[in-house]
């Protein structure tokens, strides 16, 4: 199979980062991943120059939204700034020619009504302009998470599907999150597709922790608790572009990319 694959990289020059990994895509943050401050394009020459450089090099770009975004939240001080920040990232991603913006599904407090969180997602999508696809990523932990267990993903997709533009929202499947979240990797692709109809991106990461641990701790491919054959088969079955979000910098990620290519 022809695999579009790369790593999660520093945003200063994601085209050069892809070349260093022998990769054909790069995922990165636009600005501080822990902040509500708006997106910043650090590439020399700005957004237009990055778009042109990526196109010339044949490198696909993906933007990962900041971690504090939680549009499911019942807290106005979290939900409303999160929606604004997500919208800013969608526009910034379009300016650099990105293929999509990845955002976590979010969560509620353990005693809160999950139905409110799912409906907050509907309201969010209803209000978004999406010049590039929004890709919701499954998460590893939290008993009241919007996208940990597949039963929750089904409720989330039903809510998003009722929003204007909801049919354009995509799904990012993270292997470490699925494993740590208690989802069998042997059947997760089929089950996700049965719910969402699509898998647009795979985050291929091994897990430092055991099945259903709820711990979001990535490690290099073949070095954790996920069977290597299961990882390779999931990527093959999903048939989507792949990002490795693994440690070790350029060398660690290049080794993981080579590891995966060798098994496909």
pLDDT digits (tens, 9 = 90+) for 16-60: 999 999 999 999 999 999 999 999 999 999 999 999 999 999 999
pLDDT digits (tens, 9 = 90+) for 234-250: 999 999 999 999 999 99
Report all structural domains of the chain as residue ranges with CATH numbers, in order of start: 62-248 (3.20.20.150)
- Which tokens sit at 71? 């549009």
Sign of the dihedral defined by the CA atoms of residues 57, 88, 86, 81, in that order: positive
C-alpha dist (Å) from residue 56 to 60, 142, 264: 10, 42, 27
pLDDT digits (tens, 9 = 90+) for 209-234: 999 999 999 999 999 999 999 999 99
Task: Output the CA torsion 119→145→80→160 (10° steps).
Answer: -40
Task: For residues 40 and 62, give the distance between their C-alpha atoms in angstroms, rounded to a whole number.
Answer: 14
Give the range among 81-90, 136-145, 198-207 with minimum mean pLDDT. Answer: 136-145
C-alpha dist (Å) from residue 142 to 4, 35, 113, 153, 181: 31, 21, 14, 13, 9
Tell me, yes or no, if the pTM score tops 0.75.
yes
* pLDDT score at 143: 85
Q: Across residues 170-176, what is the average pLDDT? A: 98
Task: For residues 176 and 148, give the distance between their C-alpha atoms in angstroms, rounded to a whole number.
Answer: 11
pLDDT digits (tens, 9 = 90+) for 247-264: 999 999 999 999 999 999
Task: For residues 192 and 96, give the distance between their C-alpha atoms in angstroms, rounded to a whole number.
Answer: 29
């Amino acid at each position: 199979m022809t695999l579009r694959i790369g790593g999660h990289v520093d945003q200063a020059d994601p085209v050069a980062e892809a070349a260093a990994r022998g990769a054909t895509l790069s995922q990165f943050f636009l600005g501080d991943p822990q902040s509500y401050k708006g997106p910043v394009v650090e590439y020399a020459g700005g957004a237009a120059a990055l778009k042109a450089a990526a196109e010339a090099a044949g490198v696909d770009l993906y933007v990962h939204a900041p971690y504090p975004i939680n549009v499911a939240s019942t807290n106005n001080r979290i939900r409303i700034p999160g929606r604004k920040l997500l919208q800013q990232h969608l526009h910034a991603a379009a300016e650099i020619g990105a293929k999509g913006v990845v955002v976590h599904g979010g969560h509620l407090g353990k005693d809160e009504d999950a139905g409110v969180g799912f409906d907050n997602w509907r309201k969010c999508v209803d209000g978004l302009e999406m010049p590039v696809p929004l890709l919701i990523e499954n998460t590893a932990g939290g008993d009241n998470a919007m996208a940990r267990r597949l039963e929750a993903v089904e409720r989330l997709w039903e809510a998003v599907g009722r929003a204007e533009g909801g049919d354009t929202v995509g799904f990012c499947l993270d292997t470490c999150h699925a494993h740590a979240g208690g989802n069998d990797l042997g059947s997760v692709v089929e089950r996700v597709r049965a719910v969402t109809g699509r898998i647009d991106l795979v985050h291929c990461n091994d897990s430092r922790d055991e099945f259903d641990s709820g711990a979001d701790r990535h490690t290099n491919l073949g070095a954790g608790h996920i069977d290597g054959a299961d990882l390779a088969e999931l990527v093959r079955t999903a048939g989507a572009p792949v990002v490795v979000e693994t440690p070790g910098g350029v060398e660690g990620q290049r080794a993981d990319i080579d590891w995966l290519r060798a098994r496909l």
